[in-house]
Amino acid sequence: MATRRTFLKLAGAAGLAAPSLASAQGAGRVVVVGGGFGGAIAARTLKQLDPKLSVTLVEPNPIYTACPFSNSVLANLREISQQQFRYDGIKGAGVTVAETSATAVDAAARTVTLADGTKLSWDRLVLSPGIDFDWGAIPGYDEAAAQKMPHAWKAGAQTVLLRQQLQDMKDGGLVVMSSPPNPFRCPPGPYERASLIAYWLSIWKPKSKLLLLDSKDTFSKQRLFQNGWDQLYPGMIEWVPLSKGGKVTSVDPATLTLVTEFGSHKADVANVIPPQKAGVIAAKAGVADRTGWCPVEPVAFESTLQRGIHVLGDAAIMGAMPKSAFAANAQAKVCAAAIVELLAGRAPQQPLLINTCYSLLAADYGISIAGVYRPDKGLLAEVPGAGGVSALSAVGGLRGQEALYASSWFRTVTAETFG
Amino acid sequence: MGRLLLSVLALALLSGGPAQAADAPPGASSCTGCHAPMKVTDSVIPRIAGRKVADIVTFMREYRSGAWPSSVMGRIAKGFDDQQTEAIAAWFGAQPE
Ligand SMILES: Cc1cc2nc3c(=O)[nH]c(=O)nc-3n(C[C@H](O)[C@H](O)[C@H](O)COP(=O)(O)OP(=O)(O)OC[C@H]3O[C@@H](n4cnc5c(N)ncnc54)[C@H](O)[C@@H]3O)c2cc1C
């Protein structure tokens, strides 16, 4: 057990707010904003760890549509309904679900205002609002343009729209994708998407091509992806890095044209994944900095800008940890345990966290990247010597095994969160 | 090790033994993203709740050294030292199967 002195030292070092001792006087009140991979499991774990807590989850959508495996929906390997989850399990676990959006946060008064006008008081607030797009970062790309050139980076109607466009495309057509600069949701995601679109094209529209315009010169699991593309889809995917003119500088949705520094490309199907920032409620709550993302300390993920507000998942700056559902889930469970300790006036433990992100290059071809993380100098840093990507040369059925692990992970994490 | 296991067991009993006890040692809560606390259909990833503590420790050591080949567990096991591994194993061993 940590003593009060070590806690004060730790709290000072980590910039944690003084414990409010809420549960010492009765039950504490925690409000969680956002019922995705971070928020939903945070709310559920809080209630599980301390059933006396009052936990409210604020989420406007009655059905959550998960992004992981949504690229398989594009390739017709899954239905969108297999991506969808309800909040009944979470309600059953004793969490109050408010089916509306949070519109304002008063950090000083410790309240959050909801779209239906209700004001909720909290001892601790957890924000896991995911991402919003930086509309206007690419001239011509706005919400109306996304109906012609879908981003499909929030799964749901956008995913179905992009799949429909692919199915309506003629054989021999050109699919153009654009990948955003760092940091963004799911670093290997655009490359998994290019792979699975190529997988589908190679079966149904084999004369077609995919051009992947990138705002970066390197990307996650790059050699594994590029080796796989050469082996599985020779000549089908052309990747254009930043230094070769890959950065999209504007788009014209009327003609499906993407303009880069070096030229312009007219697409038959265009998938623009725009630059991103923390979900807008983060900026309204005053927890986002000039980068558009939220700085947090690495023990309880409390904002370094506003006391009492914790930020999880894609919205937060988590040091070396990537923006993934696996990471949001791991952070949420650490945060929930830390909040229970803080409310009881005790020191949260120094955490260790794991991330593992699988990507599919074909239905039965999976690769992964993993890492182990710990607090170091105010940020989450990788534990040296651990982590890394799948072996470059696959022995036996390794790629098939990793594809099975990928779907097993998805079943497990969604059962743990929504089941 | 034995004492640690006992105290973990005692805590689990006192708190009613939820799969997410606040006393879970560092790293343990990340494992359940893949190694489900509950039974999951169609998962090829083994459950570790309620397994023999010594077996979990042996697997983790062999994953770490590479003696037992793996896709991802070797990369993860390298992030945990003996003491951290033993604490996690003791905690999972004390969870209901
Ligand atoms: C194509 C694609 C593939 C991916 N594949 C993987 C993968 O294989 N593995 C992996 O680990 N990750 C993957 N990811 C990443 C993963 O989806 C995200 O990292 C994860 O969803 C982050 O969780 P979150 O809680 O931060 O945000 P989200 O899951 O987006 O949840 C945010 C929630 O907050 C709600 N919300 C927002 N604002 C408010 C408000 N003001 N009030 C109330 N509610 C609000 C939203 O409605 C939403 O439900 C993928 C992403 C994409 C796009």
pTM of the shown model: 0.93
- pLDDT for residue A408 is more than 50: yes
At residue A113, the 3 state secondary structure works out as strand
Domains, chain A: 4-16+25-133+276-418 (3.50.50.60), 145-272 (3.50.50.60)
Span B54-64, mean pLDDT?
98
Within 10 angstroms of residue A318's Cβ, the number of other Cβ atoms is 28
Spatial CB neighbours of A184, under 8 Å, sequence gap ≥ 6:
A131, A273, A275, A276, A323
Residues A33 and A129: their CA atoms lie apart, in Å, by 6
Ligand 1 and A40: CB distance under 6 A = no
Residues A142 and B17: their CA atoms lie apart, in Å, by 50
Give residue A8's pLDDT. Answer: 40
Residues A402 and A395: their CA atoms lie apart, in Å, by 12
Residues A35 and A99: their CA atoms lie apart, in Å, by 10
Helices (H), A132-237: 157-168, 189-204, 222-232
Within 10 angstroms of residue A389's Cβ, the number of other Cβ atoms is 18
**CA closest to B41 among chain A residues:** A411
Report CA(A313)–ligand 1 centroid distance (Å): 8
* Percent of chain A topping pLDDT 70: 94
Say whether B72 and A405 touch across the interface (CB within 8 A). Answer: yes
Within 10 angstroms of residue A108's Cβ, the number of other Cβ atoms is 9
Residues B73 and B71: their CA atoms lie apart, in Å, by 6
- The single-letter DSSP state of residue A23 is G
Query: What's at A102, amino acid-wise?
Result: A
More confident residue, A12 or A339: A339
Give residue B21's pLDDT. Answer: 53
- pLDDT for residue A53 is more than 50: yes
Give residue A396's pLDDT. Answer: 87
CA distances from A369 to A126, A208, A355, B75 (A): 28, 30, 8, 9
Helices and strands of chain A, counted as H and E runs: 10, 25
Give residue B95's pLDDT. Answer: 94
Q: Predicted confidence band at A172 (pLDDT cuts at 50, 70, 90)? A: very high
Query: What's at A216, amino acid-wise?
Result: K
Domains, chain B: 19-93 (1.10.760.10)
Q: What is the pLDDT of residues A122-168, one digit of tens each?
A: 999 999 999 999 998 999 999 999 999 999 999 999 999 999 999 99
- pLDDT for residue A360 is more than 60: yes
Supply the residue whose CA is at minimum distance from atom 16 of ligand 1.
Answer: A325
Q: What is the pLDDT of residues A318-328, one digit of tens each?
A: 999 999 999 99
The residues in B 6-65 lying below 8 A from A, measured between CB atoms, are: 18-22, 24-27, 29-38, 40-45
Ligand 1 and A68: CB distance under 6 A = yes
CB of A287 closer than 8 Å to CB of A310: no
Residue A230, min C-alpha distance to chain B (Å): 22
Q: Provide the token pair at A115.
A: 């779209």
Q: Predicted confidence band at A395 (pLDDT cuts at 50, 70, 90)? A: confident
Say whether B75 and A388 touch across the interface (CB within 8 A). Answer: yes
Spatial CB neighbours of A9, under 8 Å, sequence gap ≥ 6:
none
**CA closest to A417 among chain B residues:** B33
Q: What is the pLDDT of residues A113-122, one digit of tens each?
A: 999 999 999 9
Give residue A13's pLDDT. Answer: 41
Span A314-341, mean pLDDT?
98
- Name residue, tokens 């390997």: A77
